Structure 1
Amino acid sequence: MTQLEFAALAWGGSLAAGFLGSLSGLGGGVVIVPMLVLGLHVDVHYAIGASLISVIGTSAGAQAAHRQEGFSNTRLGLFLEIATTLGAICGAFLSASTPTKWIAILFGGVLLYSASSSMGSRKQDTTGRAPDALAAKLRLVGSYPHEGKLLPYSARRVPLGFGLMFGAGTLSGLLGIGSGAVKVLVLDGAMQIPFKVSTATSNFMIGVTAVASAGVYLRRGYINPAVAMPVTIGVLLGSLLGARVLQTARVRPMRIIFAIVIALLGAEMIFNGLTGKLS
């Protein structure tokens, strides 16, 4: 395969990954790594490095659109990034001493979990309640547009959410993903943030988390511009398109398709890790 053919395939796959990742809030990283490793036979560490760079692009593209529409809560995201950034740095250092096959198996497990969460039913948004004392003190509140009016909301169970975000950041640094599935679940489930706000805020947070991990991978020489450039450009364009479509499209069918794809990729990653094909 020539370099041009590789770049074209990586760009096309990344475009689709960024689009679907932006729609679901899971981030395109869950597709980028297995696509590069299984489809284009890139070493898993270089695939993770490219994925981290692309996650930064995903976040920047999606954040611009979500912020304009009034869904992303930047203050809440930055507060929780204290935990995820610390976790991301820990995960990035752990990756150097973790065998490739175990990274593949763990990554496959995260993919299967993400697929299950993506297809699971979501609770109705609960808004207008009095904020928790800690959330009010930290001003972790906001409002989002819905049917022509602004609905207020407040974060709940802040200490629990903060602790869970450290785990999400560790996954990001270890596996080269934005761990958007975990972030959305923490925001939507544990902290009871409305789902569209959770999705938009997660897309913002995954980029900040990835920056912390990417520095470690760059220092170790695991970021190859020939791999990272087409992936980042594709994901950036896809995330911009996905963020625009999210406002009006029916997300449920896209979520189901995305869940099926990452479940198949997750099963293949686990199989290849167990059989030693990625060792």
Structure 2
Amino acid sequence: MSEILILFFGAVAAGLLGSLTGLGGGVVIIPLLTLGFGVPMHYAIGASLISVIGTSSGSAVAFVKEGFTNVRIGMFLEIATTTGAIIGALISGILNPNTIGIIFASILILTVILNLRKKPDHQEPLIKGSLEDKLQLYGTFPDKGVVKEYAARNTVSGFSMMVFAGIMSGLLGIGSGALKVLAMDNMMKLPFKVSTTTSNFMIGVTAVASSLIYFQRGEIIPVIVAPVLIGVVVGSFIGSKTLIVSQTKKLKVVFAIVVSILSIYMMYNGINHNFK
């Protein structure tokens, strides 16, 4: 019972940090379960995927109602992410846990770098007759009482990056939000608010696709998943309220320090074959 409570409060902390940074609790849940509780890597990934589904589903509804999320772009790019997620989940069944741990650590470092970069805020006009026009990859979003129009660019490049983001999500059990935002923000030139909210909308669907494979392999254990899911949802709720009064720059620094430490520790344990 005590271990379940510790796991619950650890998941609350993971959900809180993930909510404040906008990258989900998976980046903390995996190290917490594998290094803190000795949970086998594949079981930890399964639990993390379920927590990603819960947190994404809860917050995505609000963003859709507010008009920030572009559902059409999200559903189009989900073709890429869900395909990648299935591939990633299948690859996960082949790789040994230590290799997955090293890949996980590498993606954490990349996430820190992407999160610390200055985010551009694009607002591209629609080009008539373009691929984006034919696929209707454009829309509007509210900004300080003004409705602004935008359109996507470089759809093929963004779609390809989404496949990679999906593979990392299915392989590592994280939302890969940083990679999704990179695809939509830097490649497809979507406004920052649109790319982040649409990414959040997509994360849950991507996690569902890969979690089914983990479930089929018997790697989603209820006694692990239940406290993790509840804890992450509670932590995410607290984080959403705290975010209003928090300073973004300080949050980025805290996130960078915590995740850098976790990535180094994960890399060390992966190289020394300490994962189950």
% identical aligned pairs: 48
Kindly indicate whether residue 215 of structure 2 is the aligned counterpart of residue 203 of structure 1.
no
Deviation at 1:252, TM superposition (A): 3.0
Aligned to 1:52: 49
Deviation at 1:277, TM superposition (A): 1.3
Q: 1:128 to 1:250 in 2, by over 3 A?
A: farther
Q: 2:140 aligned with 1:117, yes or no?
A: no
Q: What is the deviation of 1:215?
A: 0.4
Whole-angstrom CA distance in 2 between matches of 1:23 and 1:192: 24
Whether the aligned pair in 1 keeps the contact of 2:85 and 2:169 (CA below 8 Å) is: yes
Aligned residue number for residue 213 of structure 1 = 210
User: Could you state the TM-score of these two structures normalised by the residue count of structure 2?
Assistant: 0.93
8 A contact 2:125–2:151 mirrored in 1: yes
Q: What is the CA deviation profile of residues 133-169 of structure 1, one whole-angstrom value per residue up to 9, with x for unaligned ones?
A: 2222222212222222222221111111111100111
- Of the structure 1 ranges 67-76 and 38-47, higher mean CA displacement relative to structure 2 is found in 67-76
Paired letter, 2:103: L
Question: 210-219 or 195-204: which moved more?
Answer: 195-204
Give the Å deviation of 1:241. 4.2
Instruction: Map 1:186-265 onto structure 2 (within 5 A).
Output: 186-243=183-240, 249-265=246-262
Q: Distance in 1 between matches of 2:197 and 2:186?
A: 15
2:103 to 101, 106, 109: 106
CA contact (8 A) 1:46 1:222 kept: yes
Q: 1:248 to 1:127 in 2, by over 3 A?
A: farther
Cα offset for 1:67? 1.9
Structure 1 partner of 2:134: 137
Structure 1 unaligned blocks of 5 or more: none
Larger deviation, residues 219-228 vs 36-45: 36-45
Q: TM-score, normalised by structure 1?
A: 0.92
Is the CA contact 1:65–1:244 (under 8 Å) kept in the aligned structure 2? no
The reply to whether residue 176 of structure 1 matches residue 170 of structure 2 is: no
1:39 to partner: Cα distance: 1.5
Between the aligned partners of 2:31 and 2:39, the Cα distance in structure 1 is 9
Q: Distance in 1 between matches of 2:145 and 2:219?
A: 47
Return closer, same or farther for 1:189/1:243 CA change in 2, 3 Å cut-off. Answer: farther
Cα distance between partner residues in 2 of 1:23 and 1:70? 21
Q: Which moved more, 1:14-23 or 1:60-69?
A: 14-23
Where does residue 28 of structure 1 map in the other structure? 25
Cα distance between partner residues in 2 of 1:201 and 1:222: 29
Q: Deviations over 1:245-270 (max 9, x none)?
A: 55675433222222221111111000
Q: Name the CA distance, whole Å, in 2 between partners of 1:116 and 1:17.
A: 20
Partner of 2:146: 149
1:94 aligned partner: 91
- Measure how far apart 1:183 and its partner are: 0.6
Q: CA deviation at 1:42?
A: 1.2
Pick from 51, 72, 76: which aligns with 2:69?
72
CA contact (8 A) 1:65 1:243 kept: no
Unmatched tracts of structure 2, length 5 or more: none
Instruction: Work out whether 1:126 is the aligned partner of 2:122.
Output: yes
Classify the secondary structure of the residue corresponding to 2:140. strand
Shift of 1:187: 1.1
The residue type equivalent to 1:161 in the other structure is: G
Aligned residues: 275
